[in-house]
Structure 1
Amino acid sequence: MKTILNIKNIQVLAFLLGIAGTMLSCKKSFLDLTPISQIGATNFYKTQSDLLNAVNGAYGALQLNGQYTEEYYFLADYPDDDIESSLSAANNDFDQFERFYSNSANIYIAPAWTDGYKGILRCNNIITQAPNVTMDASLKGRYVAEAKYLRALMYFNLVRIFGDVPLVIAPLTTVSDAYEVGRSPVADVYVQIVKDLTDAEAAVPLSYTGADIGRVTKGAVQTLLGQVYLTQKNYTGAVTELAQVVNSNVYKLLPVYSDVFNPANGNNAEVIFSVGYKKGGIGEGSPFVNAFLPTGGIPTLVTIGTTGNRMNGSKDLYFAFEPGDTRRAISIDTSFIDGTGKLVKTVFTRKYLDTPPTDKDGDNDWFVHRYSDALLMYAEALNETNQTPIAHTYLNLVRNRAGLASKTGLDQAGMRLALEQERRVELCFEGHRWFDLIRTGRAITVMNAYFKKYNILLGGVLVQIAPYQLIQPVPLSQIQANPAKMPQNPGYGQ
C-alpha cells in the first residue's frame, strides 16, 4: 500500500525548501545558459564545478517571476504615486495594490513569497555544503560570499514586502523541521541580512574582468548594506559603507542618461548590480520590453510581441520633472503614433524599449543598484548625520547630469525633500519609489495627499491608507499550510 503525502506537508516543504524543478541561469556574461535541472536540498556538491553551477543557479533565482522578472516591480511600484495601470479596472489584483485593498488571495503575492524562498534555498545549500568541496580556499570563499549577498538581497525584499518572515538559513529536509519554522521578527531578519553582507564584503573583489563581469562585487555588497543601514536608520553605518562605493573609483555616471538603458550597454560603468537577461530564444530574455509597453505600441514602439500595458506612468510623475530635465524624454512620455498613424495619448516609459526577436524576449537588464542610486543614498546618509553642506555635492552630481542647476543652501529638512524628489525622477520605473517613501516615513503622508489631489475613490470613498498597509498580507497558501506558525499580518483578514 503506497503512502500519499498530505497536501499541507507538500505546501510547507514547497514554501520552505523552495523546490524549483529547474535552476535558471542569469548573467549574460558569465553563466552557462543551459538550465541546470533538479538540484534540490538532497544534492551534494563535490567539485568546484558543482559549486560554481550552484552559485550560478542562485543568481538565476533572481529571474523567477516572483522575484525581479515580474512580482518585484508590481509590489515595489504599484502602491506608489508613479504608476497608473490601465489594466486596473480589468485586473482586480493590480487594482488592489494601487488602491490599497490587497488580500491574501491576490495572485501576485504568493509567488513573491515562494520564489523568494526558492532562491534562499539555493543560497542555503551553497553556504552549508561549500566547506565539503575541495578547491582553492579563496575562490570557495568568494562563491560563499556571493551566495550570502544574494540571500541578503532576497531577505531584504521579503522583509520589506511582508514584514516578519521565516528566517531559514540552513536546508530543511523533513516535514517536521518545516512545521517548526514560524515568522521571525523584522529585527531578527535584519540582523541576519547585516551579518551576511558583512561576511560577504571582505571576500568579493572590487571588480571583475572578462567572463566574470556582472557577478557580485564589493561595491554591490556595500551599496546594499548602505541601503539596509538607511532603512534601519543607522545613518553612520550607511555613511561608512556608501562612502567606500563613492570613493572606489569603480563607478561613474554616464554623460548621457538614456545610454544607461541601452540594452546593448549592459554592465556599463553606472551599473553596480543588475539581474542580467539575454534575448535570443534561449529562455533567458527579459519581459520588460513588452510588459511596460502601452496598448497599441506594436508595431511602432516595438515590432514584435504583445503589449503588457502593466506599468503606465502617472500624470503626477510626468509633472514632477523640472523644465529642462533631460531624463524625462526616456523616463516618461505622453503619446506615440500607432500602426494606423493615429496619435495615442497615454503615459508610459521608454526605459525598457528593445527589439525582441520574440514576445517577452528582450535584452534589458533589471538594475538593482545604479551609481546614481548610491550617490543619492550617500547624500541622504550625510544629511541625516548633520553633514548637509557635503550632501549637496552628491545630490548635484545627479542633477547636473540631467541638465539641471545645482541646489544650494538647503537645510536638513529641505535636503530631505530634495532627495525624495531627485530619487523619484532619477529612478522611476526601477522599483524604488514605494520603498523610499516607507524608509523615510513619508509613505502615508505622500500617498494620502496624492489620493486627495486626484480624488481617487474606492467604492465611492476617498482612498486613504493606514500604517498596516505599508506591508502586504501573508499569502493565504502559507497560512493554510501551517496556521499555527504563520499568522496573518494585523489589519488583514485571512
Structure 2
Amino acid sequence: MNKKLFYIAALLCVGQSSCKEDFLVTTDPTRIGTGVFYKNEAQFRQALNGVYGQLQSITGSAYIFEELPSDNTTVDLNPSDRGDAVRWEAFEFSTVNAGNTEIGGLWSRYYSALYNTNYTLEKLATSNLEPTARGPIEGQLKFLRAYFYFHLVQYFGDVVLVTSTVDNPNQAFDLVRSPQAEVWAQIEKDLQEAVAALPATYPAAQVGSATKGAALALLGKTYLTQKKYSDAVATLKQVTGYALNPVYADNFNPAKKNGPESIFEIQYQGGNDLGEWSSFAYTFAPRASAAAITGFASTSPGGRNIPTNDLIAAYEPGDVRKDASLKTSYTLNGKVVDIPYIIKYTHPHTISGRTDDNWLILRYADVLLMLAEAINEQSGPTAEAYGYLNQVRTRAGLKDIAGLDKATFKTAVMKERRVELAFENQRWFDLRRTMTPAELTAFMNAYGLRERANPTVSRGGISFTAQDYVYSDYEYFLPVPAPEILLNSKLTQNPGY
C-alpha cells in the first residue's frame, strides 16, 4: 500500500477499534469490533466518555496557544536546554512557523476528537436507543463538536469542516478548507440542537457532562465572537441556575469542584493510578522551584506559563483575585526567588505529578462579563451592563464602576475579563475578538517592547533575537501544519507562512 495513503487512513481510524474490513482485514482479538459495539446506551456512554477523555489532552496544552501568545504569560527560559523548548517558546516570542510540531499536534488532537465524535453520532443515528436516552448523548456530542470547531476556526481561520466520516481513505485527499462563515454556521447549528436536546442538570454520577447551560453559554460566546450582539444578549440571558461563588478561590479548589459558578469544566482525578490526573502546577511552576511550589522535590517544573509584569500590574489594589491567582515570588532553601508563578492550579496532592485540579472552560462570571460587553456594544453602558460588570467586581472586593462612555466601558470590561479569567485560556481569543489584525499587531508589538526592555524573568545571559516579539498581522491565524499540506496538496496555507 502507498505509504502516504496508509498514513492518512491510519489517522482516520484513530479512536476506532477497527477500520472498515475492505481496508484492513486483520483484527485485534483483544478488542471489541465496531460491529458488536454501539448496541446499547451503556456502550454509547462509553464512546461519549472517550471523547470527553480527549478533552484532557487538548486542554493540557491549550495554554500554549491561548495564553503564551498574549500579554498574560511568558516563559522561564532555560539557558542550558535550547532543544524542544523552542517549539513552545515560539508562541511567546511570535516566531511560530508551519513546521512547528506543536501546531501539528494541535491539529491532530482536534481532528482525532472530531473523528470519534462524528463516528459516534453516525452510529447513534442508526441505533435503536429510545429518544429519551439518545437525545442527551446526541446533544453532548454536538456540543463537543461545536467546542472543537469554536477553537479551530479561531486558530486557523478556514478549516477542514467534517461532520461525517469518510467511506475510504482516498476521500481524505479531497478534503479542503471551508470558509470561516460555513464553520461558524455549523457551530451555531450544533449548539442550537444541543440546547434543545440537553437537560439542565444530571444525576451525580454524570457530573461534568455538558448541560443546556453549557450549550447556551458557548452559543452566546459564539455570537459575541461574530459580533452578533443582539443574539448574544438574548442567548446569554437564558443561562440560568448559576451564581457567583462567594469566594473566588473556591472555583479552583479541587475539594469544591463543579460548584455553583461552574458551567462546564474538564474533569481530572489525581491521587491514583487511573491515568485521569492533571499536572498543571508542574507545567507552570518556575523551573528551579523544585519542592517549593509542588511539594515534591524529585520534579522538574516546566516554567511554561509565567505571569507577566504586565498582568501583575493590571490588578487593582485590594483585588482578592490576585492572591488567588498568582504569587510574585517563592522561597527555596530560605532564599526568596523573584519569579512569579500561577497558583490557581496549585493545591496539595498525594502523588508527585498527579494533581486533582479540574480546568474550568465556562463559568458564570464569564457569562456576566460577556453580557456587559454585548449590551455595551449594542446600546452603550446601560444600567444593566453596569450591573453585570459590577457583580463581578463586588465579588473581587472592588468598588463599582460608573460614569464611563462606550469606549471606556469596553476597556473596563476587557480589563475585568483579563484579571477575572487570568490563566483560564481566555485572553488570546479576547484580544482577537476585540481587535482588528492591525490593532492586535500594534498592541502585541508594544507589549513585546516592554517585555524586551524589562523581562519578567531573567534569561540567564541568553539575548533576544531580532525576531523575538516582532508580531505581524498575518499571525492573527496560526499556520496550517506543513505535514498536513504535504499529505493533502488541496489544503492551502495561511498567508504569511
**What TM-score does the superposition give when structure 1 sets the normalisation length?**
0.90
Q: Deviations over 1:206-237 (max 9, x none)?
A: 12232122111111001101111111111111
Residue type matched to 1:270 in 2?
E
Query: Offset of 1:486 from its aligned partner?
Result: 1.2
* Alpha-carbon separation, structure 2, partners of 1:480 and 1:292: 34
* Alpha-carbon separation, structure 1, partners of 2:205 and 2:399: 40
* Alpha-carbon separation, structure 2, partners of 1:462 and 1:365: 33
Residue type matched to 2:166 in 1?
L
Provide the residue aligned with 2:426 in structure 1.
432
Residue type matched to 2:487 in 1?
A
| 3-state secondary structure, aligned to 1:274 | strand
Residues 100 and 179 (structure 1 numbering): CA distance in 2 closer, same or farther, change over 3 Å? Answer: same
Instruction: Name which of 435, 443, 446 aligns with 1:446.
Output: 443
Residue 252 (structure 1) aligned with residue 258 (structure 2) = no
| 3-state secondary structure, aligned to 1:134 | coil
* Alpha-carbon separation, structure 1, partners of 2:226 and 2:32: 35
Residues 170 and 315 (structure 1 numbering): CA distance in 2 closer, same or farther, change over 3 Å? Answer: same
Query: Offset of 1:114 from its aligned partner?
Result: 0.6
Residue type matched to 2:440 in 1?
A
Provide the residue aligned with 1:488 in structure 2.
493
| Map 1:74-89 → 2, pairs under 5 A | 74-87=64-77
| Map 1:329-368 → 2, pairs under 5 A | 329-338=323-332, 340-368=333-361
Query: Offset of 1:7 from its aligned partner?
Result: 2.5
Query: Offset of 1:22 from its aligned partner?
Result: 8.2
* Alpha-carbon separation, structure 2, partners of 1:400 and 1:236: 26
Residue type matched to 1:475 in 2?
P
**What TM-score does the superposition give when structure 2 sets the normalisation length?**
0.89
Residue 460 (structure 1) aligned with residue 466 (structure 2) = yes
Residue 402 (structure 1) aligned with residue 396 (structure 2) = yes
Query: Offset of 1:42 from its aligned partner?
Result: 7.3
Bigger drift between 291-300 and 366-375 goes to 291-300
Residue type matched to 1:254 in 2?
N
| 3-state secondary structure, aligned to 1:479 | helix
Q: Which runs of 5+ in 2 are unaligned?
A: 19-29, 454-462
Provide the residue aligned with 2:22 in structure 1.
none
Q: Deviations over 1:279-328 (max 9, x none)?
A: 12210001212111122333232223431211111011101101111111
Provide the residue aligned with 1:276 in structure 2.
267
Query: Offset of 1:50 from its aligned partner?
Result: 1.6
Q: 2:282, 2:353 within 8 Å by CA — same for their partners in 1?
A: yes
Query: Offset of 1:120 from its aligned partner?
Result: 0.7
Question: Aligned residue pairs: how many?
Answer: 466
Residues 240 and 134 (structure 1 numbering): CA distance in 2 closer, same or farther, change over 3 Å? Answer: same
| 3-state secondary structure, aligned to 1:202 | helix
Provide the residue aligned with 1:473 in structure 2.
479
Residue 116 (structure 1) aligned with residue 110 (structure 2) = yes
* Alpha-carbon separation, structure 2, partners of 1:146 and 1:314: 37
| 3-state secondary structure, aligned to 1:273 | strand
Residues 342 and 468 (structure 1 numbering): CA distance in 2 closer, same or farther, change over 3 Å? Answer: same
Provide the residue aligned with 1:296 in structure 2.
288
Q: Deviations over 1:243-267 (max 9, x none)?
A: 111xx2x111111111111111111
Instruction: Name which of 142, 164, 171 aligns with 2:165.
Output: 171
* Alpha-carbon separation, structure 1, partners of 2:90 and 2:404: 38
* Alpha-carbon separation, structure 2, partners of 1:43 and 1:450: 56
Residue 11 (structure 1) aligned with residue 1 (structure 2) = no
Q: Which runs of 5+ in 1 are unaligned?
A: 24-36
| 3-state secondary structure, aligned to 2:246 | coil
User: Higher relative contact order by CA 8 Å / sep ≥ 6: 1 or 2?
Assistant: 2
Q: 2:41, 2:133 within 8 Å by CA — same for their partners in 1?
A: no
Residues 42 and 63 (structure 1 numbering): CA distance in 2 closer, same or farther, change over 3 Å? Answer: farther
Provide the residue aligned with 2:156 in structure 1.
162
Provide the residue aligned with 1:376 in structure 2.
369
Residue type matched to 1:313 in 2?
P
| Map 1:156-305 → 2, pairs under 5 A | 156-245=150-239, 248=240, 250-279=241-270, 280-304=272-296, 305=299
* Alpha-carbon separation, structure 2, partners of 1:106 and 1:227: 29
* Alpha-carbon separation, structure 2, partners of 1:398 and 1:222: 20
* Alpha-carbon separation, structure 2, partners of 1:156 and 1:480: 25
Q: 2:380, 2:405 within 8 Å by CA — same for their partners in 1?
A: no
Instruction: Name which of 299, 306, 313 aligns with 2:307.
Output: 313
